[in-house]
Amino acid sequence: MANIIDGKKISFEIKDEVKLQATELEKKGIQPCLAVILVGNDPASAVYVRNKKKACEYCNIKSLSYELEESTTEEELLELIDKLNNDKNCNGILVQLPLPSHIDENKVLLKILPEKDVDGFHPYNVGLLSIGKAVLKSCTPAGCIELLKRSGVEIEGKNCVVVGRSNIVGKPVGMLLTAENGTVTTCHSRTKNMVDFCRNADILVAAIGKPKYITGDMIKEGAVVIDVGINRGEDGKLCGDVDFESAEKKASFITPVPGGVGPMTIAMLMKNCVAACKSQNGL
Ligand code: GUN
């Protein structure tokens, strides 16, 4: 039976460290500040945004909340970002995705000043990540690495297989694993013999967006399994990209869904806010 990696517990360890740093900054008369922008009425996004604001409160980070109508134009959103870019008291800007279809997501992400891009989505920050120099790393991938490190899992020299090649998880998590000296293979929907790659993985990261896609028979005995997926299963319950029941019989460590990678994304966002604030204040 696998050790279950408790993402909720580890996320609180990180938030407590962030809170300590925010308290230190307060002594210097500085309070980190995050602007959270939500456009439209997507219920899942509303929950994420609420949780981000709650985490800010926990960490002693000020949050500015912008809840905009679905009908907001691209120009209006870009204007708001411009205003926040120029606001010295605002250290981080987060635009919750997805945006309504009439707004060009790429244009919006490019508008955010890289030093305020606490999501780590700006191509400048993605570029820094690829050369191992990022200050603001994208949150979910950085959260995966923290889970491994804080569970005592060594990455160096390991066969790391990432299933999924999205810009926000698959690609950056591969770059971070490479930076930790893992040997990384990225699999995706066009990969031939996916099962063979997976069975060879010492560390398997599932970020493909298909419920329970990775089953126990695809996992090497003793492998470490990180499940980034958040899906609704046929039974209506939340589930990951990994079939937990069969996978935990093979894995040495595994993240559950919920309570694995999920809480880490917000914890890493908080960490980025404080890092952005420090860097903008020359600290
Ligand atoms: N939508 C789903 N995940 C994320 C995230 O990490 N950041 C933002 N901004 N939007 C998201």
**Quick one: 92 exposed, middle or buried, by C-beta within 10 A (0-12, 13-18, 19+)?**
buried
pLDDT value, residue 41? 94
pLDDT value, residue 272? 98
Residue 119 Cβ < 6 Å to ligand 1: yes
Q: Looking at the DSSP assignment, which residues form a beta bridge with residue 214? A: 242
Alpha-carbon span 280 to 118, nearest angstrom: 12
Residue 139 Cβ < 6 Å to ligand 1: yes
Alpha-carbon span 79 to 98, nearest angstrom: 19
pLDDT single digits (tens) 20-61: 999 999 999 999 999 999 999 999 999 999 999 999 999 999
pLDDT single digits (tens) 97-143: 999 999 999 999 999 999 999 999 999 999 999 999 999 999 999 99
Closest-CA residue, ligand 1 atom 2, reads: 97
Which atom of ligand 1 is the closest one to the Cα of 265? Answer: 6
Alpha-helical (H) ranges within 100-138 are 105-111, 123-130
To the nearest 10°, report the CA torsion of 10, 14, 15, 20: 140
Distance 217 CA to ligand 1 centre (A): 32
Alpha-carbon span 244 to 221, nearest angstrom: 14
Residue 1 pLDDT more than 90? Answer: no
Percent of the chain with pLDDT over 90: 98
Closest-CA residue, ligand 1 atom 9, reads: 96
Closest-CA residue, ligand 1 atom 11, reads: 97
Which residue type, as a one-letter code, is found at position 60?
N
Q: How crowded is residue 55: how many other Cβ atoms within 10 Å of its Cβ?
A: 22
pLDDT value, residue 218? 98
Distances (CA, A) of 201 to 76, 128, 151, 156, 179: 47, 27, 18, 13, 17
Residue 96 Cβ < 6 Å to ligand 1: yes
pLDDT single digits (tens) 137-173: 999 999 999 999 999 999 999 999 999 999 999 999 9
Candidates 97, 122, 167: which one to mutate for ligand 1, based on the most atoms within 8 Å of Cβ?
Answer: 97
Closest-CA residue, ligand 1 atom 8, reads: 96
pLDDT value, residue 69? 98
The residues annotated as belonging to the active site are 52, 96, 119
Which atom of ligand 1 is the closest one to the Cα of 97? Answer: 10
Domain boundaries, the chain: 30-114, 139-262
Residue 136: alpha-carbon gap to chain centroid: 11
Q: What are 13's two structure tokens?
A: 């360890």
Candidates 48, 63, 105, 228: which one to mutate for ligand 1, based on the most atoms within 8 Å of Cβ?
Answer: 48
Q: Looking at the DSSP assignment, which residues form a beta bridge with residue 39? A: 68
pLDDT single digits (tens) 186-233: 999 999 999 999 999 999 999 999 999 999 999 999 999 999 999 998
User: Is-same-fold flag (30-114; 139-262)?
Assistant: yes
The matching CATH number, chosen from 3.90.1640.30, 3.30.1280.10, 3.40.50.2020, 3.40.50.10860, for 30-114 is 3.40.50.10860
Second CATH level (architecture) for the domain 139-262 = 3-Layer(aba) Sandwich (3.40)
Which atom of ligand 1 is the closest one to the Cα of 140? Answer: 6
